[in-house]
Amino acid sequence: MLITGIGIQCVQQITGIDATMSYSPKIFKEAGIQDETKLLAATVSVGFTKTIFILVAIILIDRVGRKPLLYVSMIGGTICLFGLAFALFVMGDGQAGIGFAILLVCGYVAFFSVGVCPVCWVLTSEIYPLWFRAQATALGAVGNGVCSGLIAMSFLSVSRAITVAGTFFIFYLISALSVAFVYKFVPETKGKSLEQIELLFQKRNGKWQRGEVELGDVEHPVQNE
């Protein structure tokens, strides 16, 4: 449970979302935008995109499910991060590079906002048993904050050392590995009771393993004891 809960909180940050949001003006300058008005408009478009797609996530999270949203979010974000690294490295500061940079930054923020952003908090409120929920959620929040701070503080130094394009290539690699983490460690919790979710993490043969359970397994938990 802790691997899943703390891991998904860290994954939310280590793919570079806070660096992207905080330093989007620098990213757009790197792409070739020099006019301050255009730079402001591009930066505002990033914040607007995030707001809109978080609202979309509110509608989808109980209809589609947590894990499908995570897959869409992380795979889409991975593609956008690779595309952004490629655009900044190959296209330089031409008009095509500027257009692709704006599109890919907004695309990455959109994919993040529709999945990873809300789902990680929903999951951490669902997967822990009541007796451990407060402590585990706090640990996850600490992991989230630490990763956010490290990424935000190191972005400028790393981008100076290996260029902004190189930095986003690293984010792309981390995001690709995060998809594997979701596949391996994150269960689907849509439509499951707290008892069912707790049974998704069962101790078998001395190891915590993930397993699917049916509603009938926990309809009468007191009678089964």
DSSP secondary structure string, 13-31?
Answer: HHTSHHHHHHTHHHHHHHH
For residue 193, what are the contacts with CB-CB under 8 A and spacing of at least 6?
215, 218
Q: Using CA atoms, how far apart are residues 158 and 83, in angstroms rounded to an integer?
A: 19
**Three state DSSP letters for 157-183:** HHHHHHHHHHHHHHHHHHHHHHHHHHH
> In angstroms, rounded to a whole number, what is the distance separating the alpha carbons of residues 197 and 182?
16
* Of the candidate ranges 60-64, 70-74, 161-165, 187-191, the one whose mean pLDDT is the lowest: 187-191
Q: What is the pLDDT of residue 124?
A: 87
Mean pLDDT across the chain: 85
**pLDDT at residue 104, rounded to an integer:** 95
pLDDT in tens, 211-221: 444 444 444 44
Tell me the C-alpha distance between 44 and 51, whole Å: 11
Q: What is the assigned CATH class of domain 1-199?
A: mainly alpha
Please tell me the pTM assigned to this model: 0.84
Tokens 């704006």 appear where? 102
Strand 207-210 and strand 201-204: pairing?
Answer: antiparallel
Domain ranges of the chain: 1-199
